[in-house]
Every structure is written in C-alpha cells, then in structure tokens.
Amino acid sequence: MARDDDSPVICSSTPPPCRRLEGKKAIVTAATKGIGLAIACRLAQEGASVFICSRKQKNVDDAVRDMRSRGFDADGCACNVGSLDQLKAFVQKAADTFGGRIDILVSNAGVNPYVGLAVDAEERVFQKIFRINVLSYLQIVQLSKPYMPQGSSVVFVASTSAYQPQPPLGLYAVSKTAVVSLGKLLAVELGGDGIRVNCIAPGVVRTKMAEMLWKNEDNANMMKSQLMLGRLADPVDMSGVVAFMVSDDAKHMTGESIVVSGGTFSHL
C-alpha cells in the first residue's frame, strides 16, 4: 500500500476518529487492491477482524502481510467468486477463523471484460459479467447467512452507472443496476432476521479497473470538470462510507444506496 505523490490513496495514515467496529468479524471480496482493500483497511482500523479474498493467493498474502504490519487483525485466502465451490470454501474458512460468526459482509468483486454496444455483445460476455457482478453477490449472501447473527450488515459495491447505463460500458452498468435492485430485495427478505443490506454507488475511482477512464490526462480533466468537488475519488474515499453503513450509526438504514461520486447527478 505504499504510494507516490500521484498514486491513489488506499489506506489513510491518520487513524479514524472512532472505533465503531470493535469485536466485529468482516469478510470482504476482491480486497487485495483498490476499493476492496481500502474498505478492508478501514474496517480493520475501526476494530474489526477482516478476512479477505482475491483470485491469486500471492496477492492475498501480500495484502494480509501489509495489513498485519499496520497492526490490523487480517487473514484471507484465494477465491474466484465466479466459482461456487471456491465461494463456499472462502466463506467456510472465514467462519472457521471467526469462530462461526460473520457480522459484516462486503461484496465488492466486479469485472468488465467488454467495451462496446450491448447489441453487439456475445452471450459469453453477458454471462461472465452477470455471473461475477450479480450472481456471486446473491450466492455469498446465501452462504454467509447461517453465520450472520441479528444486527449483521451486508454492503454491495455498485456504481453510479447503475442509474444511467451508457455505452460503451453499458452491460457493466446494467449489472450494477441489478446489484442495486438485488440489495433492495435482500433487505426485505433479511430484515426479519435483523440483517441489513445496503449499497454504495461509487463514481469514477482511481483504481486499476478504471484506468481507461482516468489515466488519460485530458479525459481525467474532462471528468473532473463535471464534478462539483472538482477531483476524482481515491479508493479511501469509499471506505469511510462503508464503515458507517455497517456500524450501529446506520442501524436503522437498510435497502438504501449511497452515491459517492464527488457530486454527479445520479437518479433512476
């Protein structure tokens, strides 16, 4: 998580002003870089034990080592969320590590293997996007629910593109629309069990996945000009919002989506 002056900020060097998550057990998918890693770090900074995953074990090992060097309680294992068997193994390992309890679930995995018009997309592209970006979100909730006590919280990472899908990233955007809707549905279904489900909808964040949008200086300046705050987000900008959503400060909030975009107009 080292950075130079122009690299995206993942983990704040300043401790948060509160530790709302002492004793909580959290799992975060796709959490060895970018938004997922930033979320895992913030949850740990506020006192949670975190269990993370990514497709490559080396990436998990590196991220866990770095978090532990900061004094965080962190562990994890490799998991391709597109594989139900690997998802099952990930959740089981996390539950075993945590003594059979999962208080916080953050589903962050996402792919976008296609840039172009939806009408030209092959079926395999559609299936991959929705397998990772939507179905895995439902499946990890299904697998985690037996370990989630009353008062637990789920957060789905969606996108502002969910509210106004546009080419050439339209299929990705539609998958995020489905994530927002799935979050609302699960909030209804799990509310009686005392489990809250909410979504965060980031705008353009300086991550590797979004490099095609912000690495070009002219393109980045154009996007900044459209933001009320005049700057693009770093991953750390998403993490505090998620920490709020899973804390008791948001204990009467469920079925909601919070847009974190620096001031863009997002609506259905």
Q: Provide DSSP, 99-116.
A: TS---EEEE--------B
What angle is formed at CA 166 by the lines to CA 164 and CA 171, rounded to 5 degrees? 100
d(CA 245, CA 251): 8
Q: Where are the alpha helices (DSSP H) in 26-131?
A: 34-45, 57-69, 84-97, 123-130
**In the numeric block, which tokens belong to residue 48?**
């949670």
| Paired strand residues for 27 | 51, 105
Total residue length of the chain: 268
3 state DSSP class of 169: strand
The one catalytic residue among 114, 147, 163, 172:
172
172 assigned to active site: yes
Hey, which residues are catalytic here?
172
